[in-house]
């Protein structure tokens, strides 16, 4: 029996394996590559055993695969920070910092659709290498925030999760960056802020 015969028969089957389908969060973890290999394999098995979750997985996989196809390569995605690390040490250890902010700043927060609104550094800010404090407006019901520092083309340089609305990150590498904040809402919903650009110059 050829591989094609197996495929045709498998795709025509009407009985399905038991067990609950994976949750949306498990599907997201699978396509993002988080979790252990054993966990990803177990989620994949359950996802493909159910036609509906197989279609859901395909939607998420296609988005991720399209993003990867657009980037130079997955390996290159990691070569960027590694190359930077050689010449430009990036301090990955982020120090969480709670800043006292003026009430007026909080009151004029305009988080449309619950998106976190960045405060400082301002867009297109220029900073010297060192510790930089990133601050954003709170989002109602957010259980925490994930701060992401990206290269200019969107490759992740470092990320940190905090329950606060600010974080201090040591950035020693010169060059252009972007940064975004993701509000982590209940039920796994994530809302991205608008990206801001940042340039580090000596």
What residues numbered 8-27 form the site for another protein, per CB under 8 A?
A: 8-21, 24-25, 27
Tell me the CA distances in angstroms from 114 to 117, 183, 184, one per residue in order.
Answer: 9, 8, 10
In the window 91-150, what residues touch another protein (CB under 8 A)? Answer: 112-113, 115, 123, 150
Task: Note whether 48 binds another protein by CB under 8 A.
Answer: yes
Q: Determine the interface stretch with another protein among 28-36, 80-88, 98-106, 161-169 (rule: CB under 8 A).
A: 28-36
User: Closest distance between another protein and the C-beta of residue 92, in Å?
Assistant: 19
> What's the sign of the alpha-carbon dihedral 42, 43, 44, 49?
positive
- CA–chain centroid gap for 58, Å, is 19
User: Closest distance between another protein and the C-beta of residue 100, in Å?
Assistant: 26
Contact string 180-199 vs another protein (x = CB under 8 A): x------xxxxxxxxx-x--
Does residue 107 have a cis peptide bond before it, meaning omega lies within 30 degrees of 0? no
Nearest to 164 by CA among 142, 180, 186: 142
CB 171 within 8 A of CB 201: no
Task: Note whether 6 binds another protein by CB under 8 A.
Answer: yes
Task: Note whether 79 binds another protein by CB under 8 A.
Answer: no
User: Closest distance between another protein and the C-beta of residue 60, in Å?
Assistant: 6
The pair of three-digit structure tokens given for residue 72, joined into one six-digit string: 């130079």
Task: Note whether 88 binds another protein by CB under 8 A.
Answer: no
Task: Note whether 49 binds another protein by CB under 8 A.
Answer: yes
The pair of three-digit structure tokens given for residue 77, joined into one six-digit string: 């995605």
């Amino acid at each position: 029996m050829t591989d094609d015969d197996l495929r045709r028969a498998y795709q025509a089957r009407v009985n399905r394996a038991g067990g609950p389908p994976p949750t949306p969060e498990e599907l997201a973890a699978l396509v993002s590559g988080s979790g252990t290999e054993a966990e990803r394999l177990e989620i994949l098995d359950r996802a493909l055993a159910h036609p509906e979750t197989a279609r859901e997985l395909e939607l998420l996989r296609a988005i991720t695969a399209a993003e990867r196809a657009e980037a130079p390569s997955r390996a290159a995605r990691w070569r960027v920070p590694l190359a930077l690390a050689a010449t430009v040490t990036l301090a990955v250890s982020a120090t969480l910092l709670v800043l006292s902010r003026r009430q007026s700043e909080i009151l004029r927060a305009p988080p449309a659709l619950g998106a976190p609104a960045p405060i400082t550094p301002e867009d297109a800010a220029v900073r010297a290498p060192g510790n930089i404090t990133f601050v954003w407006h709170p989002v109602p019901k957010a259980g925490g925030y994930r701060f992401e520092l990206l290269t200019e083309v969107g490759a992740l340089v470092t990320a940190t999760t905090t329950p606060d609305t600010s974080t201090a990150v040591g950035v020693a590498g010169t060059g252009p960056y972007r940064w975004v904040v993701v509000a982590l809402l209940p039920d796994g919903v994530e809302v991205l802020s608008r990206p801001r650009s940042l340039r580090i110059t000596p």
